[in-house]
Amino acid sequence: MDYTQKVIDAFKSPKNMGEISDADAVGKVGNPVCGDLMWLYLKIRRNRDGRDYIYDVKAKTFGCVAAIATSSVMTELIKGKTIDEAEKIKKDDIIKVLGGLPEQKVHCSLLAIEALEDAIRKWKLENKKNIELNKKNKRAN
């Protein structure tokens, strides 16, 4: 497979691998039948401007070289970003950082994007629930 040195480097020493035990959101995507699986852990905090941002990120990936390399790059791209910014990251942004991917491996980069989407979607859902809960609590008071 014709991987760039950047892909090999990211694969060899992937960043932010592991779990966050008290994560605010966990994205779980993939399928062992297809041969890739990714769990993405996000710790989200609010910055001084009142915006929610990704304070910490960890990932666990089962998959090929491209899946692991793109997982690593994605975690690096989103760390410190606000949720709005993170949502704008596309697979092409990851591929660009890696200096390209072999054509048949481009789809592997979707794994990381889908994990991110899943985590953010779950976090928003949870967040909405909490807001409603807070409102209810206020009313009750």
Partner 1 sequence: MKAYLDNGATTMVDPDVVEVMMPYFSIKYGNAGSLHGLGKDAGDAVRKARATIAEAINADPDEIIFTSGGTESDNIALKEAAFANQGKGNHIITTKIEHPAVLETCRFLETMGFSVTYLDVDKEGFVDVEAFRRALRPETILASVMHANNEIGTIEPISEIGSICREKGIIFHTDAVQSFTKVPIDTKAMNIDLMSLSAHKIHGPKGTGALFVRKGTKLGTLMHGGGQEKRLRSGTENVPGIVGFAKAVEIAAKSHEHIARMTGLRDRLGSGLLAIPGSSLNGAEPESGKRLCNNINVSFKYVEGEAMLVHLDLAGVAVSTGSACSQKSLKPSHVLLAIGMARKDSHGTLRLTLSRFTTEEEVDYTVEALKGIVEKLREMSPLNKETIKGYDDIDLKKRGR
Catalytic residue among 108, 111, 113, 120: 108
Distances (CA, A) of 25 to 42, 91, 117: 5, 21, 11
> Is residue 92 close enough to count as binding partner 1 by CB under 8 A?
no
Which range of residues in 62-70, 77-85, 124-132, 133-141 is near partner 1 by CB under 8 A? 62-70
Please give the helix or strand (H or E) that residue 26 lies within, else none.
strand 25-31
Q: At what angle do helices 5-12 and 65-78 cross, to 10 degrees?
A: 80
> Is residue 14 close enough to count as binding partner 1 by CB under 8 A?
yes
Length of the chain as a residue count: 141
Size of interface with partner 1, in residues (CB under 8 A):
34
Using alpha carbons, select from 42, 102, 44, 26 the residue that is nearest to residue 69. Answer: 102
Catalytic residue among 1, 8, 34, 133: 34
64 carries an active-site annotation:
no
- Residues near partner 1 (CB under 8 A) are 1, 3, 8, 11-12, 14, 17-18, 28-39, 60-68, 104, 107-108, 110, 114
